[in-house]
Amino acid sequence: MIPRLIPREGVDKIVYQGSGVSIGRFRCDVGHPDFRDTGPIRQAVVVFPRTSVWIRHEGGREFVADPNVVTIYNRGQRYNRFPIHPAGDRCEWFALSDELARDVASWQTPAAAESPDRPFAYERAPGRVDLYARQRALFRRAAAAQLTELEAEEEAIAIVGEVLTLAREHAARTATQRRADAVRRRRDLAEAARAELARSPFENRSVADLARALGTSPFHLCRVFKEETGQTMHAYRVGIRLRRAIDRMGTAVGRAPGGLSAIAHETGFASHAHFVQICRRELGVTPTVLRARLG
């Protein structure tokens, strides 16, 4: 059974809590006294960021947690965050009881059963846009008290399992590495490029401009970014824009007449038609259908 959680003052809000799963949101402004360190994680949890921050797990290296990433924590995990987005840290989270976390993790990593305190072997996973939309839909229904316990827990378990699958597959793809120092430099460059893109996702910056800001050559930046993330910088930026558009669909602007066109313009798409094209390509539906699904 998952322990009854006490929300952290001003930052956490729990919208659903069952016997094995809890669902909530986290909001922490850059100026909040606990922004850098909000204490150790109190349950095994996967987190879907809505803004961008640097995260550094205790004993680990910094990485960018943005809407294209799912972050993963074991109970008791200590970490620090550092600002990128002016709004601070905004995210939704799905927590599992210790027993359930071990059960889910053991299907991905058999050794998880031998590490009861740290069943999750990964600190993050690349997040697919369909999974981002799926968790947003589940969160909205949980917040509106529209879920039975069976439905909430079944879908949350499926989402966490999918996150761990993505993390394991990503780890397998990057298991064969070059020398440690070269790998570290490449990784740092890719992370810095992601941070640069996260700072200005709605601006149409050139490769040359990004490379100049990062002190490297355009060719090297393009090659390293693609090899480290599996995406071009253009595709990565489109992913951030699309996730931001998904978030905006549930607002008053998104529901208003002409709201989808306004969102397309606000989030950097060339036109409403371009927004429709990207939604069809990435999600298989139009923005109108997606907005209806998200309520």
User: DSSP states of 6-37 as a string?
Assistant: -PPTTTEEEEEE-SSEEEEEEEE-TTSTTSS-
Which CATH number is 12-173 given? 2.60.120.10
Q: How many alpha carbons lie under 13 Å from residue 73 in its C-beta half-sphere?
A: 24
Read off the pLDDT band of 281 (50, 70, 90).
very high
Ranked by mean pLDDT, the top range of 45-49, 98-102, 283-287 is: 45-49
Q: How many alpha carbons lie under 13 Å from residue 249 in its C-beta half-sphere?
A: 22
User: At residue 113, does pLDDT exceed 80?
Assistant: no
Ranked by mean pLDDT, the top range of 34-38, 97-101, 106-110, 136-140 is: 136-140
Q: Lowest mean pLDDT: which of 16-30, 107-121, 205-219?
A: 107-121
C-alpha dist (Å) from residue 231 to 226, 235, 276: 5, 6, 21
Give the per-residue pLDDT at 95: 96
User: Residue 285 has what DSSP assignment?
Assistant: S
Give the per-residue pLDDT at 2: 46
Q: Lowest mean pLDDT: which of 94-108, 143-157, 165-179, 243-257?
A: 165-179
Both tokens of 9, joined, read 């003052």
- Give pLDDT tens digits for 3-29: 444 455 568 899 999 989 999 999 999
Give the per-residue pLDDT at 10: 61
User: At residue 126, does pLDDT exceed 90?
Assistant: yes
* Average pLDDT over every residue of 134-147: 96
User: At residue 180, does pLDDT exceed 60?
Assistant: yes
- Give pLDDT tens digits for 66-106: 999 999 999 999 999 999 999 999 999 999 999 999 999 98
Read off the pLDDT band of 208 (50, 70, 90).
very high
Give the per-residue pLDDT at 112: 62
Average pLDDT over the chain, rounded to whole? Answer: 89
Q: Lowest mean pLDDT: which of 66-75, 111-120, 213-222, 267-276?
A: 111-120
* Average pLDDT over every residue of 134-161: 95
C-alpha dist (Å) from residue 157 to 18, 23, 76: 12, 11, 20
Q: Give the separation between CA 37 and CA 274, rounded to whole angstroms.
A: 40
User: At residue 223, does pLDDT exceed 90?
Assistant: yes
Give the per-residue pLDDT at 128: 94
Share of the chain above pLDDT 90, in %: 71
User: At residue 201, does pLDDT exceed 60?
Assistant: yes
Ranked by mean pLDDT, the top range of 108-117, 134-143, 181-190 is: 134-143
Please, are residues 261 and 272 in contact by the beta-carbon 8 Å criterion? Answer: yes
User: At residue 157, does pLDDT exceed 70?
Assistant: yes
Task: Look up the pTM and report it.
Answer: 0.81
Q: Find where tokens 């697919």 sit.
A: 128
* Average pLDDT over every residue of 55-68: 93
